[in-house]
Amino acid sequence: MFSTWLMLSVSGSGNQLVERLLTTAGLEMLSLNTYPGRLAPAPGRHPMPNLEPGEKVLVPTSVGEGAFPGENLVTVETKTGPVSGFAKTANIVHRHGDSYLMAEVQDVSEDTLTVRLFGSFFTTTGLAYIPSSAKLLRAG
């Protein structure tokens, strides 16, 4: 079974609109609390299981053509700037018009999710610091 979680950052009146949209889609709205490594529910919601090192997530990515069949050029926006490289098409997921790259959680802090991206990258070994405001899907 595949479970999906969407993470985004909203505030003020936009919060109510996003909550209505998520509810319509059959999703629950959650918030990241200030305790490193722990997820807490938004008021009136049920908690989501903690993200732990080793768990798989899908990170938003832009996708281009790769040099070889079965791979694509990918770029992921991180806290330190864009990270580009090549990933196997099997590690890229397309949902609702967006593209995501598979990654493994390494660490969770208050404002950053540290992940190891699946692929071969130009400027990193695949370690990326994703801001907590990024839209992530949970791979299950």
Domain boundaries, the chain: 56-138
DSSP per residue over 37-75, as a string?
T--EEPTTSPPPPPP-TT-EEEEE-EEEE-SSTTEEEEE
For the stretch 4-37, pLDDT in tens is 444 444 444 444 555 555 455 544 444 433 334 4
Residue percentage of the chain with pLDDT more than 90: 47
SS3 123: coil
For the chain, the distance separating the N- and C-terminal CA atoms, rounded to the nearest angstrom, is 7
User: Which of 45-54, 66-75, 95-104, 116-125 comes out lowest in average pLDDT?
Assistant: 45-54
Four-point Cα dihedral 30, 36, 38, 40, nearest 10: -30
Residue 39 and residue 138 in contact, taking contact as beta carbons nearer than 8 Å? no
Question: Is pTM beyond 0.75 here?
Answer: no
